[in-house]
Amino acid sequence: MVSNEREPSALYIVATPIGNLGDMTARAVEVLRSVDLIAAEDTRHSARLMQHFGISTRMTSYHDFSDDVRVESLLAQVHEGQSIALISDAGTPLISDPGYRLVQRAKEQALRVVPIPGVCAITTALSVAGLPSDRFIFEGFPAAKRTGRQKHFQSLLQEPRTIIFYESPHRILDSIDDMLEVFGAQREAAICRELTKTFESIHSAKLGELQTWIREDPNRQRGEFVVIVRGAVLQQEETLNAEVLRTLEILLESLSVKQAAALTAKISGVKKNLLYERALEISKARS
């Protein structure tokens, strides 16, 4: 049904469960059964899924280290009329998982790329965290080393949207410690662990409490994690960030306090009154 006259050949990007096999969609099973080849991140890992759903389609491996020759040879098969399904070990391919290069090259070659949507740990966690979900950003895995990780968090200090991270059991404690240090104990967050699995736990609290909660019990440090941090609630004071201040300071070198404040307000969108007060302080300090 996939590669016949009515359905032209395609590269299918197929989501699979992140734990609970009951989350596999009927469409995913149908597509995996009917394609000519399944490109899997780890064929041994995916063999269990195939067995469970009675899928006997041929599998080949595809991961981020696959070279260009491999990408092109897979796509050549689609050109020849075969359909290929890409799956990763869990969840949606390309989301912190292999597949980007394959999809990018397929699009460049005008091949049909078809999404077969399903579970993704990002949306699964966000849907139950109790944090604002109208605007959010996904930041992937924080850096492995402390300096890089803290820098990453610092760059997000003023981010107003809800921030989503993936984290591994090896680094969850260090990451929570650094989040606490950078975002502060009062920042709301959620630790979503082992989603859809037997020991699923979703704990939403302030970072200070979350640190105690996760340190209290080693079992809470095991498994797979999504950590969600509420975005910054920006006060007017906070919006006077480094860039706005720099603009104000430069303009004050050649304009009056009133003019510099008015112009900076126009450029940055920050309230004129606030800038006027700050401009006064700067000019007093300079005189």
Looking at 23, 42, 181, 194, which residue binds ligand SAM (CB under 6 A)? 194
* Total of chain residues touching ligand SAM, rule CB under 6 A: 24
- Among residue numbers 16 through 55, which ones bind ligand SAM (CB under 6 A)? 18-19
The DSSP-derived string for 115-153 is EE----HHHHHHHHH-S--SSEEE--SPPSSHHHHHHHH
3: three-class secondary structure by DSSP: coil
Is residue 87 part of the contact set for ligand SAM (CB under 6 A)?
no
Is residue 174 part of the contact set for ligand SAM (CB under 6 A)?
no
Closest by CA position to 175, among listed 140, 125, 200, 202: 140
Q: How far is the CB of 102 from ligand SAM (least distance, A)?
A: 14
Is 197 or 272 the residue whose CB approaches ligand SAM more closely?
A: 197
Is 127 or 259 the residue whose CB approaches ligand SAM more closely?
A: 127
Is residue 188 part of the contact set for ligand SAM (CB under 6 A)?
no
Is 117 or 148 the residue whose CB approaches ligand SAM more closely?
A: 117
- Among residue numbers 92 through 121, which ones bind ligand SAM (CB under 6 A)? 92, 95-97, 120-121
Looking at 40, 99, 224, 278, which residue binds ligand SAM (CB under 6 A)? 224
185: three-class secondary structure by DSSP: coil
- Among residue numbers 115 through 154, which ones bind ligand SAM (CB under 6 A)? 120-122
220's CB contacts (< 8 A; 6+ apart) are 191, 193, 201, 203, 213, 214
- Among residue numbers 199 through 218, which ones bind ligand SAM (CB under 6 A)? none
Looking at 27, 33, 151, 197, which residue binds ligand SAM (CB under 6 A)? 197
Q: How far is the CB of 236 from ligand SAM (least distance, A)?
A: 36
Looking at 2, 131, 226, 260, which residue binds ligand SAM (CB under 6 A)? 226
Q: How far is the CB of 180 from ligand SAM (least distance, A)?
A: 19
Residue 237 burial by CB count (10 A; 0-12/13-18/19+): exposed, middle or buried? exposed
Dig out the tokens for 283 from the structure. 């000019």
Q: How far is the CB of 120 from ligand SAM (least distance, A)?
A: 4
Is 154 or 168 the residue whose CB approaches ligand SAM more closely?
A: 168
Is residue 88 part of the contact set for ligand SAM (CB under 6 A)?
yes
Q: How far is CA 159 from CA 77, 144, 229, in A?
A: 44, 22, 10
**Please, what sign has the CA dihedral across residues 97, 102, 105, 107?**
negative
Q: Which residue is nearest to ligand SAM (CB)?
A: 91
Q: How far is the CB of 210 from ligand SAM (least distance, A)?
A: 15
Looking at 12, 153, 225, 276, which residue binds ligand SAM (CB under 6 A)? 225
Please name the residue that has the structure tokens 């890089």.
148
- Strand segments, DSSP code E, in the chain are 11-14, 37-40, 59-61, 84-87, 113-116, 136-138, 162-167, 188-193, 201-206, 225-229
**Residues within the interface to ligand SAM (CB under 6 A):** 18-19, 88, 90-92, 95-97, 120-122, 166-168, 192-197, 224-226
